[in-house]
Amino acid sequence: MNKKQKLGFNIVLILLAIFLVSCSKQKTEWAGTIEEVDGVVIVKNPIEPIYGEEAFSLEEELVIGETEGKEEYMFQSIYALDVSDIGDIYVFDFKAQHILVFNPDGEYLRTIGRPGQGPGELYLSRALDYTSFNEIVVSNMNNITFFIPDGEYVKSIPLGKISGLWARIDSDGNIFGFGIFREKEVYELKKYDPELKELYSFGSSPLPSAERRRTGKWHAFFNVLRWDIINGNQIVCGYPEEGYIFKIYDSSANLIRKIEKEYTKIEISKKDLEEAIAEHPADMREDITAPKYYPPYITLRADDEGRTYVYTYERVPDSEKYYFDIFDAEGRYILKVPLMTRFWILKNKLYSIEEDEEGFQYIKRYQITWGI
């Protein structure tokens, strides 16, 4: 074989390899449907995604956390994190009731907040949000507290009769809040103006105590309305009791898109049921019940490009990990991949809270590669 023939043969091999890789990523043609009904886009997805797992990969590029050493790198109980536009990482430690700030290289910068109930202090905080207005917003038991990035306290907004509001700020400066409304015995997702004046409601789900009075039992796998901000000032939310369905609402709480997916029911294992029962106080265990099958999903998240990640009960074989179903901005089911359970995605990077075998926590950052 002469040089020209060898070159031609090698080019054919390269093209064939590219073709085979491309084919392996395209697992199947999308067999779903998209139609508009009364102004709402309805997306119905088949049981299989468009692409195979190999169309998504993560490369670890940063680890923050130490088991011994400097105190600012040792976490007690990480509850939440968020990332600024320049890549600084804000980590909320629940036990310490403060926020640790690290630069994009993982170097400690400062600590924001301290335990207490005074101005600039944190009390039973449950959520952290870095806003598009460069503010750090912390949801406390009794108020919402605002800081600027250098740690200076700005203001607090009292919650009044709302209990434990989980607050997020949209791109218009309004507040999305998920809280407990005891007079109605529900969790409810609402939108408020910057002074916490109610504007809209996006949905609700019963409190466990209300279900206990209604059924006489405690539910081992109790479902709650799940939600996230998507596309800056819209909401994606779903209530697993309704099935494998989630919805997207515009900034005025108008339903604009409904996404459904076929799924295979997964039977609740004896081991998981026993573990769920063991998490309750001993005097409650006789009154705990569970259905035969898991709910269709656990929770959902959105990234900054309009994709939705649905955390399912399907376990990865021979692993403790679970699969996430990923939907594109149109609502098409594109991927099923195993992911860590607590993560945030921004600018094509995944930030996660992870633990080692001894229970020590770390923050990790991964570069995402899409083969789509």
**Rounded Cα distance, 275 and 294, in Å:** 14
Residues of 248-280 as b/e, b for ≥16 C-beta within 10 angstroms?
bbebebeeebbbbbebeeeebeeebeeebbeee
pLDDT value of position 27? 59
> Over pLDDT 90: what percentage of the chain?
72
Tokens standing for 54?
Answer: 């190999």
Structure tokens belonging to residue 95: 């036990």
Per the CB < 8 A criterion, the answer to whether 105 and 86 are in contact is no
Give the pLDDT confidence of 284-323 residue by residue, as tens digits.
888 888 889 999 999 999 999 999 999 999 999 988 789 9
- Residue 23, SS3? helix
pLDDT, tens digit, 9 for 90 and up, residues 155-206: 999 998 787 789 999 999 999 999 999 889 999 999 999 999 999 999 999 9
Q: How many CA atoms lie within 13 A of 160 on its CB side?
A: 6
Instruction: Identify residue 6 by its one-letter amino acid code.
Output: K
Q: Which residues in 28-162 belong to E strands, given as ranges?
A: 33-37, 40-45, 56-64, 78-83, 89-93, 98-102, 108-112, 114-115, 121-122, 127-130, 136-139, 143-147, 153-158
Q: What span, in angstroms and rounded, lies between the C-alpha atoms of 325 and 334?
A: 8
What is the mean predicted confidence (pLDDT) over 71-83? 92
CA dihedral 167, 113, 84, 352 (to 10 degrees): -80
Residue 217: pLDDT above 60?
yes
Q: What's the full length of the chain, in residues? A: 372
Confidence of residue 357 (pLDDT cuts 50, 70, 90): confident
212 compared with 274, residue with greater pLDDT: 274
Instruction: Reply yes or no on whether the pLDDT at 361 is more than 90.
Output: yes
Q: How far is CA 263 from CA 90, 245, 345, in A?
A: 36, 11, 25
- Cα–Cα separations (whole angstroms), residue 276 to 169, 226, 257, 271, 299: 34, 20, 34, 9, 17
Contact 157, 144 (CB under 8 A): yes
> How high does pLDDT run on average in the chain?
90
pLDDT tens digits for range 224-252: 999 999 999 999 999 999 999 999 999 99
Amino acid sitting at position 354: E
Q: pTM here?
A: 0.89
Averaged over 63-92, what is the pLDDT?
A: 93
Nearest to 231 by CA among 334, 155, 305: 305
Q: What is the pLDDT of residues 20-67, one digit of tens each?
A: 444 444 557 999 999 999 999 999 999 999 999 999 999 999 999 998
pLDDT at residue 57 in the model: 97
Q: What is the pLDDT of residue 219?
A: 81
Task: Check residue 85 and report its DSSP letter.
Answer: T
Cα–Cα distance measured from residue 311 to residue 294, given in angstroms and rounded to the nearest whole number: 12
Which two tokens mark 5?
């023939």
Strand partners, 344: 351
